[in-house]
Amino acid sequence: MKKVIVSIFICLMAVNVSFAQKGSILINGNLSFYATNTKSNNHKDKTRDFRFAPGIGYRLTDNFLVGLKVGYFSNVNDPEGDIKTTNKGMTVGPYARYYYPLNDIFSIYGQFDFLYTHSNEENVTYFNFTSTQKNKGCRISVSPHINAHVGKGWSLNFGFGTLGFDSITSIPEQGEQSTQNTFGMDLNGSSIDWGVSYTFGGAGK
């Protein structure tokens, strides 16, 4: 395993890469999947979280990029003997990145997102009684990422952790709507994502 990691690192270092320039266009997609199975007091709890977010961006400077992205997410929380919750929806909104190059291959960047979110939630009780509601609102967040340039415009990126604010209004089939505002840092598996991007165009191209 160590030999494989070293070989990949040597290959990356051998690639002749130039950083993206002002005026270039970036097409990217990020994927996240998180699953847990926990057992306590003879109960099994299952959690599944899937997220996919493609986007497009434009570099205003060599280091600063703005863009637009859309996303799909699906979250299932299934505690044994309790309410099973399934929440599926979409997000859309602008984002901005600021890159800080570390060397010819690696860079780090911070990403700011302002997203509108809309989802349909279903709750099923142990006795199969079902209730549904719609959720809508916005999310503002910042997150750190590592970027690896692998040549010919292609890059790989890895994100970990999110600091964000959410304002979500829930509208049930029956009953009054309610709004929940939350602020905090997310360091669980759902905040970890992998992505690939392709950059073309730019100054001097």
Looking at residue 203, its pLDDT comes to 62
- Binning pLDDT at 50, 70 and 90, where does residue 12 land? very low
Other C-beta atoms lying within 10 Å of the C-beta of residue 134: 15
State yes or no: pLDDT of 27 exceeds 60: yes
| Tens digits of residue pLDDT in 158-169 | 998 899 999 999
Is the pLDDT at 182 greater than 70? The verdict is yes
* pLDDT above 60 for 17: no
pTM of the model: 0.80
Boundaries of every domain in the chain: 2-201
**For 36-91, what is each residue's pLDDT tens digit?**
888 877 778 888 999 999 999 999 999 999 999 999 999 999 887 788 899 999 99
What's residue 4's pLDDT?
41
Give me the pLDDT at residue 189, please: 63
DSSP the chain: -HHHHHHHHHHHHHS------TTEEEEEEEEEEEEEEEEETTEEEEEEEEEEEEEEEEESSSSEEEEEEEEEEEEEEEETTS-EEEEEEEEEEEEEEEEEE-SSSEEEEEEEEEEEEEEEEEEE-TT--EEEEEEEEEEEEEEEEEEEEEETTEEEEEE--EEEEEEEEEEESSS--EEEEEEEEE-SGGG-EEEEEEEEE-TT-
- What rounded mean pLDDT belongs to the chain? 86
Q: What is the pLDDT of residue 19?
A: 57
Of the candidates 185, 91, 199, the one whose C-alpha atom is nearest the C-alpha of residue 144 is: 185
Q: Is 96 within 8 Å of 64 (Cβ atoms)?
A: yes
Q: Is the pLDDT of residue 144 over 90?
A: yes
CATH number assigned to the domain covering 2-201: 2.40.160.20
Residue 141 pLDDT greater than 80, yes or no:
yes
Q: Which long-range contacts (CB under 8 A, 24 or more apart) does 152-155 make?
A: 153/20, 153/198, 153/199, 153/200, 154/196, 154/197, 154/198, 155/196, 155/197, 155/198, 155/199
Can you give the pLDDT at residue 22? 87
Q: What pLDDT does residue 190 have?
A: 64
> What tokens does 200 get?
């073309």
